[in-house]
């Protein structure tokens, strides 16, 4: 993927099964994480130009209980970040990692 300094870039990873914690490792090696149940967009600690996209509710029929309980945002399948005002230090490999079970974080 190619982008220029100052541009905005979106990165995402998608899974076939629900997850509860999503993290992105920045080129600097620093991780930032977000719970699937977070109802808000959040910034990455130490780099406020990296923002998690607000999770979208799952496609669950009205009145049905989701795979991870009654919260339709629980058990995400896509984890996306937006990097605003790209800087030279953003160049490099970004790695997405998801965890299904929070007991082994």
- CATH code assigned at 33: 2.60.40
Phi then psi for residue 88, to 5 deg, are -55, -35
Q: Compute the distance between CA of residue 103 and CA of residue 29 in angstroms, rounded to an integer.
A: 23
Q: Looking at the domain assignment, is residue 16 inside a domain?
A: yes
Residue 83's nearest CA partner among 39, 52, 40, 45 is 52
Residue 4's nearest CA partner among 103, 100, 83, 99 is 83
Residue 58, domain extent: 9-104
- The per-residue pLDDT for 90 is 93
Number of structural domains in the chain: 1
Q: Looking at the domain assignment, is residue 1 inside a domain?
A: no
Tokens 């600690």 locate to: 45
Q: Looking at the domain assignment, is residue 45 inside a domain?
A: yes
Q: Looking at the domain assignment, is residue 30 inside a domain?
A: yes
Give pLDDT tens digits along the chain (105 positions): 889 999 999 999 988 888 888 889 999 898 887 766 665 566 676 788 888 886 555 554 444 444 444 444 445 688 889 999 999 999 999 999 888 776 654
Q: Looking at the domain assignment, is residue 94 inside a domain?
A: yes
């Amino acid at each position: 993927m190619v982008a220029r300094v100052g541009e905005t870039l979106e990165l995402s990873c998608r899974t076939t099964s629900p997850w509860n914690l999503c993290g992105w490792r920045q080129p600097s090696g620093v991780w930032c994480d977000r719970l699937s149940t977070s109802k808000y967009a959040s910034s990455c600690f130490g780099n406020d130009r990296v923002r998690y996209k607000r999770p979208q509710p799952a496609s669950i029929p009205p009145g049905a209980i989701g795979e991870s309980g009654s919260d339709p945002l629980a058990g995400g399948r896509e984890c996306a970040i937006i990097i605003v005002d790209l800087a030279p230090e953003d160049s490099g490999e970004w790695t997405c990692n998801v965890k299904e079970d929070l007991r082994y974080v």
